[in-house]
Structure 1
Amino acid sequence: MKGKAKFRITTVIVQREIKNDNSLDPSYITCITGGGGHTLIVNKHGQVFACGLNTKGQLGLRTDTEHLVFEKIKSLDKYHIIQVACGWDSSLAVTKDGDLLVWGSNAYCQLGIPKRKVPFTSIPLKVAVPHVRSVASGLRHSAILTKDGKLLVCGNGRNGQLGLTDSNGTPIAEVDHPQEVPGLNDVCKVACGQQHTLVMTSNGRIFVWGSNKHGQLGVDPTLHSVIVTPKEIVLPLQPDAGCILLSGWTHAAILTDDGKIINWGRNTYAQLGCHEYQRPLSWKPQIMNNIGNVTQLAVGAEHNIAVLGTGRIVSWGWNEHGNCGTGTEEDVRVPTPVGIDIKQKAVTVGTGAGHSFALNC
């Protein structure tokens, strides 16, 4: 079944296995990620599969109708895709050769193309940025990391999330083509929140900019509610080369090589995995003390999914749509096991803004 739905399940609060026609072999899946209402899957062959909402062509299937099952994006068959990122209703992909492909909404120039030329597209388009290493997407902005350690940005910048200012120090409101963020060198990792951006350099330094309303930049929001250019922050321990940098809409996290999680930012919905009274200075980066031995971490808009070394999956945070998979729609205050029967330890997890996936091969 594909194409426009005659019915729709709007919320699934317990786990449900996805059936497919064997065109999408679970054992070959390397990445699952999502946006506001769509999901992309990448496999070891460099193919991309999409499903979900599609009003702006964010599925890349040459149509604007939603799809209830995963369908391969055939127009990407000539490329070998190694990574994808999803904005609210936009999608970006990086090829093995370092090319950048984009599709979906371009209402804020988040595709790196002037919106007057392409307001949206259901056909993946190549953007002229050479030697791309990885991409990240915020709600309405995009960040592009090149193989030589430069960071380029485009899209909405009204809250300083692009790290670009005019001669008066005012954030540039919108950028319609990828521009380099000045003052950064040897960037090796990037993550985007709703209206902020953070990067890590090859020597483990963390720089942040954008909205800091909820302390999501790791800086006291009473002192700086917005940071318009990259600012270095200090963590409780030095990040290692193998760490993973992640961000939700208003909180951020680092998964270290030895399975620890450092997080900071908003904790209204227990995004930090504890009660609010336990982290009164939630803006201050701290190591989570109620979880360890984490092998994978995925961060949604305001929720988190982690895989432990035992193969157990746990979740915490905002759960209005059942996105934590605990069987209720109540926010999950501490890391709580998700009721999935793990037959093997080879598990991949992924999140969208308000939905989650777990792959058990």
Structure 2
Amino acid sequence: MVLLAGQDLNEWCLHDAVYVAACASHRCAVSPSFRLNAENACGGSLSDVTFVVSKASSHNNLLGHRKAYIHSATSLVLGKLPTMPLLACGSNAHGQLGINSTTDVHTPTQCEIALPAFTHPISISGGANHTIIITSSRELFAAGHNESGQLGLDGGDRHVFTPIPWSRDERGVPVLAACGWDHTVVLNAEGRVWGFGNNVYGQLGLGPDVAKTHEAVEIPLPEGSGEIVRIACGMRFTVFLDEAGKVYACGANKAGELLPLRAEAELDVVFNVRPLVLPPCRDVACGQYHVVFAEEDRGILSQGRNRHGQLGPADGLLSGDSAEEGSTSRRRSSRFCRFDEDRAKDCSELFSGWNFSGYVSQSKRLILWGRNNFGQLGIGTIDDNQPPTQSPIEDVMQIACGAEHTVALTANGQCFIWGWNEHGNCGLGHTTDVHTPTEIPYSGGNVRIVGCGYGHTLLYTDG
């Protein structure tokens, strides 16, 4: 049904409207239990109508009122809302799945996000108990725990995906988000970086006087830094890579994950973003207490904690390999590992979970190493402290890691998952750890984009 502009809509009652989402060309009002009654307009009841779009300059009293009149619409189209096909599974104690509950789910379940199907995610990331999404319309949405402001919103937890206030005039166009335990960092198209959430450990680089922020604040970078092109978060630290391959970092440094700093001090906490003394790098990935870098020329370099071999093979250790963590010198407590140049040339993309690491090869295969007690490496065993091992999966196009689980998307649309599964985060209908890559059963099209929080998984499909 199409209603022309100016038609009196006073008889159209909007029940339970929860949110108005605005973009450049249209406005939407949607609700999980949305109903429109149109007895006077069509002689019947449209109790299942769930979609309203108006090209209006103002939504007037569309939200918060049971009756509305749209004065400036060119047209009003009514029909069922083709909700964005975004699915989630796993840990959900704080509503981080965005399914309007706080109960774990063990199979992919439709999220509640007030956006139509023609809008899709371009970035999905998550922390311990929160999820951040950037859409193709360059809007940000958040769900989950918000005690430290990690959602970029005022107030408490959100159990459905909620828009984050974001002024493009002030903050630019968002292109990528990364999450730590309870902090969030957002990169814009101009290479500037914004952060919100916990800063007790300096993970937002806002100095020692800011404990947390619920509002996005631009992260000050060192003088002379170029445009940032890559961001990655560990549990309580953040790493930045600029267009020239220079690396910067801030946050917790107790395990030596941020060494060597370009400074005299060896600090447990780095409150302001500082450059690291490293060769030029082209990629970075962060674990719980370690970092992996792909250098431009020399190899793959990793540093930080190495209790489970997450830095790489023992024969690649360069320094600190005999030092115990907690030693007086924090520089000595960090271990450094460099792979050979052949591996570096083969690496097209790095990835990391809490205690394992890996890369996607030029031939689209996965090479993984490190902790394997939950089957994190997907090699069919739980033998720990594994050297670099090739996964049987081929043609990998995208990969995402939680704390101790991994999801991989292949060129033909297959979606494989493996590792820790205590909360059903592998989406297989059970909570038993998964030791080999297993295809996630789902219906309704092919998976196009994958993302993970520490104990949860999100899938965007094409149908």
TM-score by length of 2: 0.70
Q: What's the RMSD between the two structures over aligned residues?
A: 2.5
Q: Residue 132 of structure 1: CA displacement? A: 1.3
**Correspondent of 1:331 among 433, 455, 458:** 433
Q: Residue 236 of structure 1: CA displacement? A: 7.2
Secondary structure, aligned partner of 2:441: coil
Partner of residue 257, structure 1: 362
Partner of residue 236, structure 2: 140
Confirm or deny: 8 A CA contact 1:269 1:333 kept in the other structure. Answer: yes
When residues 167 and 125 of structure 1 are mapped into structure 2, their CA distance, relative to the original with a 3 A threshold, is: closer
Partner Cα separation in structure 2 for residue 349 and residue 19 of structure 1: 17
Partner of residue 45, structure 1: 137
| Within-5 A mapping of 1:158-197 | 158-164=254-260, 171-182=266-277, 184-197=278-291
Q: Residue 186 of structure 1: CA displacement? A: 2.1
Deviation larger for 125-134 or 213-222: 213-222
Based on CA coordinates, which of the two structures has the bigger radius of gyration? 2
1:201 matches 2:307: no
Confirm or deny: 8 A CA contact 1:271 1:302 kept in the other structure. Answer: yes
Q: Residue 310 of structure 1: CA displacement? A: 2.3
Partner of residue 105, structure 1: 198
Confirm or deny: 8 A CA contact 1:235 1:286 kept in the other structure. Answer: no
Partner Cα separation in structure 1 for residue 440 and residue 341 of structure 2: 29
Partner of residue 312, structure 1: 414
Provide Cα deviations, 1:284-306, integer angstroms capped at 9, x if missing partner.
11212x22222211111000111
Secondary structure, aligned partner of 2:283: strand
Partner of residue 114, structure 1: 207
Confirm or deny: 8 A CA contact 1:160 1:210 kept in the other structure. Answer: yes
1:294 matches 2:396: yes
Kindly provide the amino acid, as one letter, of the partner of residue 180 in structure 1: P
When residues 142 and 281 of structure 1 are mapped into structure 2, their CA distance, relative to the original with a 3 A threshold, is: closer
1:233 matches 2:339: yes
Secondary structure, aligned partner of 2:259: coil
1:71 matches 2:166: no
Secondary structure, aligned partner of 1:270: coil
| Within-5 A mapping of 1:144-155 | 144-155=240-251
Confirm or deny: 8 A CA contact 2:183 2:204 kept in the other structure. Answer: yes
Partner Cα separation in structure 1 for residue 190 and residue 235 of structure 2: 27
Secondary structure, aligned partner of 2:166: helix
Provide Cα deviations, 1:10-69, integer angstroms capped at 9, x if missing partner.
31111101233226x5643211110011111112333221111100000002x1311111
Partner Cα separation in structure 1 for residue 284 and residue 165 of structure 2: 28
Confirm or deny: 8 A CA contact 2:381 2:435 kept in the other structure. Answer: no
Q: Residue 270 of structure 1: CA displacement? A: 0.3
Kindly provide the amino acid, as one letter, of the partner of residue 179 in structure 1: R
**Matched length:** 349
Deviation larger for 39-48 or 259-268: 39-48
Confirm or deny: 8 A CA contact 1:58 1:90 kept in the other structure. Answer: yes
% identity of equivalent residues: 30
TM-score by length of 1: 0.89
Partner of residue 64, structure 2: none
**Correspondent of 2:126 among 34, 41, 53:** 34
Partner Cα separation in structure 1 for residue 367 and residue 219 of structure 2: 34
Kindly provide the amino acid, as one letter, of the partner of residue 334 in structure 1: T
Q: Residue 73 of structure 1: CA displacement? A: 1.3
Q: Residue 319 of structure 1: CA displacement? A: 0.2
**Correspondent of 2:180 among 87, 101, 123:** 87
When residues 171 and 64 of structure 1 are mapped into structure 2, their CA distance, relative to the original with a 3 A threshold, is: farther
Partner Cα separation in structure 2 for residue 225 and residue 257 of structure 1: 36
When residues 167 and 298 of structure 1 are mapped into structure 2, their CA distance, relative to the original with a 3 A threshold, is: closer
Q: Residue 114 of structure 1: CA displacement? A: 1.6
| Unmatched tracts of structure 1, length 5 or more | none
When residues 212 and 310 of structure 1 are mapped into structure 2, their CA distance, relative to the original with a 3 A threshold, is: same
> Which structure is higher in RCO with an 8 Å CA cutoff and minimum separation 6?
1
Confirm or deny: 8 A CA contact 2:112 2:161 kept in the other structure. Answer: no
Provide Cα deviations, 1:250-305, integer angstroms capped at 9, x if missing partner.
0012112322000000000000002446x5650x11212x2222221111100011
Partner of residue 452, structure 2: 351
Partner Cα separation in structure 2 for residue 351 and residue 128 of structure 1: 27
| Within-5 A mapping of 1:118-133 | 118-129=210-221, 130=225, 131-133=227-229
Kindly provide the amino acid, as one letter, of the partner of residue 282 in structure 2: C
Q: Residue 205 of structure 1: CA displacement? A: 1.7
| Within-5 A mapping of 1:272-287 | 272-276=377-381, 282=386, 284-287=387-390
Partner Cα separation in structure 2 for residue 26 and residue 203 of structure 1: 41
Partner Cα separation in structure 2 for residue 332 and residue 74 of structure 1: 38
Q: Residue 171 of structure 1: CA displacement? A: 4.6
Partner Cα separation in structure 2 for residue 308 and residue 94 of structure 1: 26
Secondary structure, aligned partner of 2:311: coil
Q: Residue 240 of structure 1: CA displacement? A: 4.1
Partner Cα separation in structure 1 for residue 439 and residue 181 of structure 2: 28
1:213 matches 2:319: no
Kindly provide the amino acid, as one letter, of the partner of residue 111 in structure 1: L
Partner Cα separation in structure 1 for residue 151 and residue 404 of structure 2: 23
Provide Cα deviations, 1:50-94, integer angstroms capped at 9, x if missing partner.
111100000002x13111111221134432011110000000011
1:270 matches 2:363: no
